Amino acid sequence: MHQAVLSRRNFKLNVLKYWRAAVCAIQALVCAYLGMGPHYAAAVGVVPETSAVLIDENSGEAAIKVRNTDAHPIILHTAIIDTKEDPARLIVATPLAARLEPGESQLVRFMLINKEPLKYERMKRVVFEGLPPELSSHNAVDLIVRQDLPVIVKPAALPVDKEPWKRLTAQVRDGVVTLSNPSDYVVRLEQRAQILPQKTMVTLSRRYILPGEQVLVGKARQAGAKTIRLFPMTRYGYTASAYDLQVTASH
């Protein structure tokens, strides 16, 4: 009898896991299609008040409200995710878990734990998940909605730049176009770009470029590329005006 109960519970947990993966995939597709941040992908569930978290080293912390828009209670789970390019631990969040009644909001705080002054902007991600307080009875499956937001940390001595994409450079060598970020700023971009004068649409390898990094522009060779048209994103994930960047030859 005990084994049967465990078996049913494990089955429900596995189903819940696959539902969770499916929801995340659908949200990602919707966001990519609409050109929006994940904050706008779901009309219900956990909803952050902004689509990004910005932390200034001068204050050492930031906060954001997250609201439960569902008609039932949830457990709000908060997790800081490191990017693979920057795995060093930099931020802690509190509370990591909180129960929210329908319509209730929770203030989540983020605190820097760096021991040395920052020299350039850093980026992490925060994931908010609204989990059911317990697995539903009978054979129902609860839908888990997650929100994945960027967390950008600005050094104390670094001036604010609302258009950091203008600091990028582009090079072409043997038909391969690369974008470089020699600045101290994190640059957010849509993954689509256009090579001119060919008017060829290409895909960037990522939606952001960290300080000191390079990313490839598309997979095919782009002989004769003179300009690359970028579609920058503001700190909060809104699409800014297109920006044309001259491509220089690299030898």
The CATH number of whichever domain residue 242 belongs to comes to 2.60.40.10
Which of 130, 154, 178 finishes a domain? 154
Residues 16 and 64 in one domain: yes
Domain count, the chain: 2
Residues 148 and 181 in one domain: no
Q: For 227-248, how does the pLDDT look when each residue is reduced to its tens digit (9 = 90+)?
A: 999 999 999 999 999 999 999 9
pLDDT of residue 142: 57
Which of 154, 179, 202 finishes a domain? 154
Question: Which DSSP state fits 144?
Answer: P
**Whole-number Å distance between alpha carbons of 162 and 19:** 38
pLDDT of 52 strictly over 50: yes
- Does some domain include residue 103? yes
Number of H helices, E strands in the chain: 1, 17
The arithmetic mean of pLDDT across residues 79-106, rounded, is: 96
Which of 111, 133, 154 finishes a domain? 154
